């Protein structure tokens, strides 16, 4: 699985969106040709056409499930589905629906996603969380109360969640760690999506993370790797939006960064066995535990 520093084993993008109206299978083709073997296909919200009812959410979830099946039929790629209502959708629904109805619908959408997970249609709840941009005090309070309720549901159902949260470094991890304690949701199953590349346990508080693997991330990953005891993986958060090509990162990026990490470690003092163990953890062993 390691040939002169080149990784030939599994490569997983743990958070990618696809859209039937955009590149869809052409994006999967790019990922597959670059060496990718598995994806977490995450429900993509339509912020221009927000759900007004639970039936709207069911239709949106069904579209994600249909895309997953089509990918499985056409590619030798493992596809996990992640379903859940996006916190930005909730915040945007407050104006037309009112905060109480928006919150009620959000919880209904969470429960629907949990049903799909129970039925083995999906493997994880997400992306859920709280707005990543400034909101007023009332909305922020509601957002945190809502997130805690969602985490409690995830804990009760023994499922993992992928979190969409603000980028506030150590404080964000600290806040989520406290909510894990209250909700009784294991930190391992609490996965911060679009996470910074500092994987040291002091920084992450032991919470799992999928790292946004943009340029420059490999250096910090390697620097903090010795202090890391938590699960982590790689993601693009690819949006599949023709108006924003390549946003957030393109579908070839995780295979590319995997090779960069592998070859950088291989040229240092890491043994082949250590590199193989790390790569299998990132792209196979840890995901199989997080997304059973």
pLDDT in tens, 263-291: 999 999 899 999 999 999 999 999 999 99
Helix/strand/coil for 156: helix
Strands 78-83 and 38-42: parallel
CA distance 42 to 61: 10
pLDDT in tens, 112-152: 999 999 999 999 999 999 999 999 999 999 999 999 999 99
| pLDDT at residue 69 tops 90 | yes
- Distance from first CA to last CA of the chain, Å, rounded? 24
- Report pLDDT for 245: 85
Mean pLDDT over 42-46 rounds to 96
Q: For each of the domains in the chain, give its residue range(s) and CATH number, in order of start.
A: 16-290 (3.20.20.140)
- Backbone φ, ψ for residue 193 (5° rounding): -85, 155
| pLDDT at residue 14 tops 90 | yes
Describe the chain by its helix, strand, coil percentages, rounded to 5.
50, 15, 35
pLDDT in tens, 205-220: 999 999 999 999 999 9
CA distance 240 to 247: 7
The string of DSSP letters for 169-203 reads HHHHHHHHHHHHHHHT--GGGEEEEEE-S---HHH
Mean pLDDT over 214-236 rounds to 97
pLDDT in tens, 87-97: 999 999 999 99
pLDDT in tens, 150-183: 999 999 999 999 999 999 999 999 999 999 999 9
Tell if the pTM clears 0.85, that is, is over it.
Answer: yes
| pLDDT at residue 243 tops 90 | no
């Amino acid at each position: 699985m390691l040939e002169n520093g080149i990784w030939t084993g599994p490569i997983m993008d743990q958070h990618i969106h696809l859209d039937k109206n955009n590149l869809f299978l052409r994006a999967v083709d790019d990922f597959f040709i670059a060496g990718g073997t598995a994806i977490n296909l995450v429900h993509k919200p339509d912020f221009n056409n927000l759900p007004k009812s639970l039936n709207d959410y069911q239709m949106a979830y069904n579209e994600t499930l249909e895309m997953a099946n089509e990918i499985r039929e056409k590619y030798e790629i493992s596809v996990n589905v992640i379903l859940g209502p996006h916190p930005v959708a909730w915040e945007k629904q407050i104006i037309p629906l009112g905060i109480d109805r928006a919150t009620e619908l959000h919880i209904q959408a969470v429960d629907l996603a949990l049903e799909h997970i129970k039925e083995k249609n999906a493997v994880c709840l997400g992306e859920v969380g709280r707005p990543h941009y400034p909101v007023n005090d009332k909305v922020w309070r509601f957002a945190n109360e809502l997130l805690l309720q969602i985490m409690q549901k995830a804990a009760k159902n023994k499922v993992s969640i992928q979190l969409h949260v603000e980028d506030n470094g150590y404080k964000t991890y600290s806040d989520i760690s406290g909510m894990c304690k209250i909700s009784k949701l294991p930190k391992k199953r609490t996965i911060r999506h679009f996470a910074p590349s500092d994987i040291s346990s002091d920084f992450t508080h032991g919470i799992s993370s999928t790292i946004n693997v943009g340029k420059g991330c490999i250096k910090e990953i390697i620097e903090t790797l010795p202090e890391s005891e938590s699960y982590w993986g790689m993601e693009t958060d690819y949006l599949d939006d023709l108006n924003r090509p390549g946003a957030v990162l393109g579908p070839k990026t995780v295979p590319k960064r995997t090779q960069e990490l592998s070859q950088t470690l291989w040229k240092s003092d890491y043994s082949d066995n250590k590199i193989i163990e790390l790569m299998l953890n990132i792209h196979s062993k840890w995901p199989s535990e997080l997304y059973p």
